[in-house]
Amino acid sequence: MSNDAYGFVGLGAMGFPMVSKAVEAGLSVFVFDTSSAALEAVVARGAKRVGSAAAVADAAETVFVSLPDASIVEAVALGETGIIHGSRIKHYIDLSTTGPTMARTVADAMTRKGISTLDAPVSGGPIGVRNGSLAVMASGSEATLEKAKAFLTTFATTFVYLGPEVGKAQVLKLANNLLTATNMVIVGEALAFAEKGGVAPEDLFRIINAGSGRSWVSEVAYPKHVVTRQYDQNFRTELMHKDVTLCMQEAERMGVPMWLGSNVRQFWQFAMTQGMASEDCSRIAALIEGWAGISEDIVETAA
């Protein structure tokens, strides 16, 4: 098999479009996922299907994973049929958000097997993949980053290398996602406040985004996914809750107080108890509006 082939495990909301972009760019990609439907769909686009994570690492020297949480990453990377047992793998790149503790655990095991590792979480979501505009933050082997770039540049434009210490990129990603999670809540409260006061959402965001209150959430997430009532940001509530919880756990290990962050985690935990785990995270705006006595029908009529 060609040394130019890549391996990829995890064909979810991020992994599927990543592999699709790489295949469209003419790269050879061997893939595995537990979802037969996802595998069939990406094979139809030109990827090559294999039967396990280890088989991916038998087929390619450079293997990526994009998986939902730390326990799944550990199983896929180090389990009985995990990537670590592959016969060809030389470079392992984790694009997931799993926290620095798990990143270091996997890296230590991979290093003992002579496999170079890179934790390289991404920012920009599925929309960023489709637009080819993702940001990649990376720490670990710089040689592995260079090896991975031909694949990564099919969907990413910004690269920030943080040095050889695995885990730093995960710290940065958790800090980023804590801000996003906080903004999703507070912009929702600002929206409900404005609506209850008779201000149309369009006017609210026109002013916010021309002033000091603006953020990606106010500029993109709410106007595109909430005000339109589409709720299609394509990032599940359970994943937002997972990332904020990870951040709080790592902050506690580091001795960093998180007064506001703890409250934000509680909010997302409450959303989980309301049956919203699999709902798009943007739907929390409707939850806040409901508490304020605002219905979607009222908002649409006012608009």
CATH of the domain at 80: 3.40.50.720
8 A C-beta contact, residue 31 and residue 66:
no
- Only one residue has tokens 């009532």, namely 229
Do 152 and 177 share a domain, yes or no? no
Residue 4: predicted pLDDT: 81
Q: What is the CATH number of the domain that holds 249?
A: 1.10.1040.10
Residue 302: predicted pLDDT: 40
Which residues constitute the domain of residue 191? 171-302
Do 117 and 73 share a domain, yes or no? yes
Do 175 and 141 share a domain, yes or no? no
Do 13 and 140 share a domain, yes or no? yes
8 A C-beta contact, residue 135 and residue 173:
no
**Domain-embedded: residue 60:** yes
Degrees, nearest 5: CA angle 117-118-119:
130
Phi then psi dihedrals of residue 160, to 5 deg: -120, 115
Residue ranges of the chain whose pLDDT lies below 70: 1-3, 296-303
Q: How far apart are CA 49 and CA 226, in angstroms?
A: 37
Do 157 and 20 share a domain, yes or no? yes
Do 191 and 65 share a domain, yes or no? no
- Picking from 143, 175, 142, the residue whose alpha carbon sits closest to that of residue 244 is 175
Do 177 and 99 share a domain, yes or no? no
Strands 6-9 and 134-140: unpaired
Residue 142: predicted pLDDT: 96
Residue 2: predicted pLDDT: 46
Beta-bridge partner residues of 139: 119
Q: What is the pTM of this model?
A: 0.92
Burial of 142 by CB count in 10 Å (0-12 exposed, 13-18 middle, 19+ buried)? middle
Q: What share of the chain is helix, strand, coil (3-state, %, to 5)?
A: 55, 15, 30
8 A C-beta contact, residue 77 and residue 110:
yes
Do 289 and 180 share a domain, yes or no? yes
Region of 114 please: left (phi>0), alpha (psi -120 to 50) or beta.
Answer: left
8 A C-beta contact, residue 102 and residue 250:
no
